Structure 1
Amino acid sequence: MRKRVFSGAEWESKVGYCRAVAIGPLVWIGGTAPVKPGGGTHAPGDAYAQAVRCFEIIEAALGELGGSLADVVRTRMYVTDISRWPEIGRAHAEKLGQNPPAATMVEVRRLIDEDMLVEIEVDAYCSTIVTDLS
């Protein structure tokens, strides 16, 4: 049985996706952009604040499934300017450094909104999540 989490982002219904999917203890959280509550880009121009906001949204999705950031085993960070890696890396270390996951950071040409500097996706193993695998 699959568990799905929706964040309410405007693109979920337009594109046909959810924030997270869990099957048993495995969780996949799709690309998470720095969206403000109610819409719009959080902290335009501030890569660190945007990365923190991405992790806040990810943390909420994991929490809804019964997990936490400590369960993250892999991150993928898509950034529009790789020279800003120290800001984004700082947020990553603050949020995940106690339980470091495998990580990738790559530069992309742009994201769905021109004010967005970073988008993050994660995979997690949450042993506390119980779903029927049949």
Structure 2
Amino acid sequence: MEMVRTNYSSGAPLEEKAGYSRMVTVGPFVYLGGTTSVKPDGTVHGEDDPYEQTKFIFDKLLKIMEKADSGAENVVKVKAYVTDMKYAPEVARAYSEYFLNIKPLFTMVGTTMLNRPTQLVEIEMDAIKY
């Protein structure tokens, strides 16, 4: 089986400048890199609100997955990084709105900080097209 690699950009200026892709597919495998709630204008959506940031991130990731003919039902693993574990219930609440019935693997990790102090959550996902 030939495994074709395709890189996808979300259009964020840093992707080209730093040399990374928002999503990479290799054959049926879909990998989505760490994503925060930064809007196209560079501001952070949902400052001080981990629930709103999480929902914004999932919407952003699921939208780019459409480019690979994939969606939430294809997600097999989600990893969330939060700057304070006190945000865990709000992140989990938002997560459940997207994945309650799909039940992918889910890991939440506490980290001391993200790129900006107003970023509370960063998420990466893996999926497979079938």
Distance 2:72 2:18 in 1: 26
Instruction: Give the secondary structure class of the aligned counterpart of 2:106.
Output: strand
Q: Which residue of 2 aligns with 1:123?
A: 126
Shift of 1:3: 1.5
Q: Which residue of 1 aligns with 2:113?
A: 110
Distance 2:98 2:26 in 1: 24
Of 22, 28, 31, the match for 1:19 = 22
Distance 2:5 2:115 in 1: 27
- Please give the TM-score of this superposition, normalised by the length of structure 1: 0.91
Instruction: Give the secondary structure class of the aligned counterpart of 2:101.
Output: coil
Is 2:99 the partner of 1:89?
no
Shift of 1:92: 0.6
What is the aligned length?
127
Shift of 1:114: 1.1
Distance 1:27 1:89 in 2: 22
Distance 1:79 1:9 in 2: 22
Q: How does 1:1-134 map to 2 (within 5 A)?
A: 1-127=4-130
Instruction: Give the secondary structure class of the aligned counterpart of 1:30.
Output: strand
Runs of 4+ in 1 over 2 A off after TM superposition: none
Give the AA of the match of 2:45: H
Instruction: Give the secondary structure class of the aligned counterpart of 2:112.
Output: coil
Shift of 1:14: 2.5
Give the AA of the match of 1:73: V
After superposition, the CA RMSD in angstroms is: 0.9
Determine what percentage of the aligned residue pairs are the same residue: 38
Shift of 1:38: 2.4
Structure 2's unaligned 5+ residue stretches are none
